[in-house]
A and B are shown apart, each in its own frame.
Chain A
């Protein structure tokens, strides 16, 4: 619902009076505000650290996350009785190093989050521009799609799709993306409707540009800020969705180290080997909160909003 709020609060109006008074361009003003935004800096910092882990996983992870050692199954973390410093966070039910799997898990989560949000953005923005710019029956058709999309609990729909199509990272990315585009669409459509009336589009029309060209060249650039905010927050939503799906057994397939899947696999032993469930959950929480802080921050500094 942060998303909904974003959608409600974003306003495409020109620079705020403050900015004009200070004589700053919108970009400079945003940067200035960013420097004083604690949440944004915190989120960005946490995200950078996790991003480094994700990118440099092959060098940072102490072991191969897929390497099994059946004789070292279910080792507790190093500081507990029976733990070994060789496996700082212990091992799972196939004797794979848990720390390495968690580090690689960051990769999987980020990949799916970014991938799904991108696909959602592509679908939403395209449909939004089409609906807003061309109107008429196209607008009606898009509206029907939105209603279909909203009427079914998205988790149920995603589960059914993944179940039927088959589990793989690509399928998960596409299915989550394909069910999370409504917010992009709402923003884009509304903005397109308003921009369409503005002068510069009329001018472009007069100069003989095709409608489609107008849509892409003139309308899109004006939406970048808002779409960026929605994108960030949708990344977080997609990551949580993937974890939930994998937890229910319909996400990415084993042996890929997805945090949700790791929690699911640890669940049967949760009272006896609780670290199997606790650790990936913490990783998930930290990543998602970092992204949300970043998203909220970006919204606060770039998009003019009514409260401040």
Chain B
């Protein structure tokens, strides 16, 4: 097991390096960060001075190795645009994104599980059809558009929740709804099929034969076995939320990592983009690793059943 984890970690490192050098090269060849730092109306002398001051005139390999050397010593560099350490910048923005991601996950669970379970309990009933058509619709709604519609709706009809910003818990309600909705179809379908599978399996039939009946049976036995794999899927979904937060944070003007990423791309703030990508890659790898470990841990149990 340890060996497996080590191999995964090594792979992750290699992936991170490949991706980060790729990004670095892309930005190096296509953009002029000096102008962004200097501003649109900056005189030529100023832009040149900044170019030298930040070392943008050096060859790409030198710049990359320089940056990488810093990272290895735990120094992720200064943001060109914000002129503060990237680590501080990320720490400041991470709170919003984490809060958003977890509340979105909660929304997903609260909607998808009950729907999936009730659909599985009565396959082909109206509940099942309703659940499936919800899934199909939710899958087709563009996330950002759903956000805009909620903003219009909540601004007019139900002025309960604020429609932009991130300064109180109420600001998170609508964004979490939007971001959470995007995972509902997947988790819902998975719950439904998972539960149907388990209910058709031998040990449930045995249990039924032994006289367990009705609701308790489902809750006690089937659900537990069907839901455990979903936990591993949720781990991956949490990773997806980080990516999804790019759009949601932009729509609701929240100062999170997603928006920081978008703005850093626009500003060719390379140290920030680089560090964010490293962070995203790391998070993804950790979450999938967690999912794999959960699966591995579950497997024998399921076989035992």
List the interface of chain A (C-beta within 8 A of B): 1-2, 4-5, 9, 39, 144, 147-148, 150-156, 159-161, 163-165, 236, 240, 243-244, 247-248, 260, 263, 267, 270-271, 274, 277-278, 281, 284-285, 288-289, 292-293, 296, 306-307
Contact residues in B for A263 (Cβ distance below 8 Å): 144-145, 148
Contact residues in B for A244 (Cβ distance below 8 Å): 142-144, 247
Are B29 and A289 in touch, CB under 8 angstroms? no
Instruction: Supply 24 A–B pairs (Cβ within 8 Å), ascending by A.
Output: A1-B186, A5-B193, A144-B14, A144-B15, A147-B15, A148-B18, A151-B12, A151-B16, A151-B19, A151-B284, A152-B277, A155-B244, A159-B246, A164-B26, A243-B142, A243-B145, A244-B143, A244-B144, A247-B144, A271-B155, A281-B145, A288-B142, A293-B136, A296-B136
- Which of A4, A9, A152, A281 sits near B148, CB closer than 8 Å? A281
Contact residues in A for B23 (Cβ distance below 8 Å): 160
Contact residues in B for A159 (Cβ distance below 8 Å): 246, 262, 265
Q: Does B281 contact A (CB under 8 A)?
A: yes
Are B149 and A164 in touch, CB under 8 angstroms? no
Contact residues in B for A165 (Cβ distance below 8 Å): 30
Q: Does B304 contact A (CB under 8 A)?
A: no
Are A156 and B14 in touch, CB under 8 angstroms? no
Shortest beta-carbon distance from B153 to chain A in Å: 10
Are A281 and B149 in touch, CB under 8 angstroms? yes
List the interface of chain B (C-beta within 8 A of A): 11-12, 14-16, 18-19, 23, 26-27, 29-31, 136-137, 139-145, 148-149, 151-152, 155, 183, 185-187, 189-190, 193, 196-197, 240, 242-244, 246-247, 250, 261-262, 265-266, 273, 276-277, 280-281, 284-285, 288
In the docked arrangement, what's the CA distance between A4 and B142, Å?
19
Contact residues in B for A160 (Cβ distance below 8 Å): 23, 26-27, 265, 273
- Which of A5, A267, A281 sits near B142, CB closer than 8 Å? A281
Shortest beta-carbon distance from A141 to chain B in Å: 12
In the docked arrangement, what's the CA distance between A274 and B150, Å?
12
Contact residues in A for B242 (Cβ distance below 8 Å): 153
Contact residues in B for A151 (Cβ distance below 8 Å): 12, 15-16, 19, 280-281, 284-285
Contact residues in B for A152 (Cβ distance below 8 Å): 19, 277, 280-281, 284
Are A164 and B137 in touch, CB under 8 angstroms? no
**What are the 9 tightest A-B residue pairs by CB atom distance, in nearest-first order?**
A153-B243, A1-B186, A289-B140, A288-B140, A281-B145, A164-B30, A164-B26, A151-B281, A151-B284
Q: Which residue of A lies closest to B25 (CB)?
A: A164
Shortest beta-carbon distance from B214 to chain A in Å: 23
In the docked arrangement, what's the CA distance between A39 and B129, Å?
11
In the docked arrangement, what's the CA distance between A110 and B217, Å?
48
Shortest beta-carbon distance from B25 to chain A in Å: 9
Contact residues in A for B30 (Cβ distance below 8 Å): 163-165
- Beyond A159-B262, A159-B265, A160-B23, list 15 extra A-B contacts (CB 8 Å): A1-B185, A1-B189, A153-B240, A153-B246, A156-B276, A156-B277, A164-B26, A248-B246, A248-B262, A263-B144, A281-B148, A288-B142, A292-B136, A292-B140, A307-B193
- Which of B26, B139, B197, B280 sits near A2, CB closer than 8 Å? B139
Most buried by A among B140, B246, B261: B140
Shortest beta-carbon distance from B298 to chain A in Å: 16
Contact residues in A for B189 (Cβ distance below 8 Å): 1-2, 5
- Which of B29, B151, B266 sits near A270, CB closer than 8 Å? B151
Contact residues in B for A296 (Cβ distance below 8 Å): 136
Contact residues in B for A292 (Cβ distance below 8 Å): 136, 139-140
In the docked arrangement, what's the CA distance between A278 and B150, Å?
11
Most buried by B among A160, A161, A267: A160
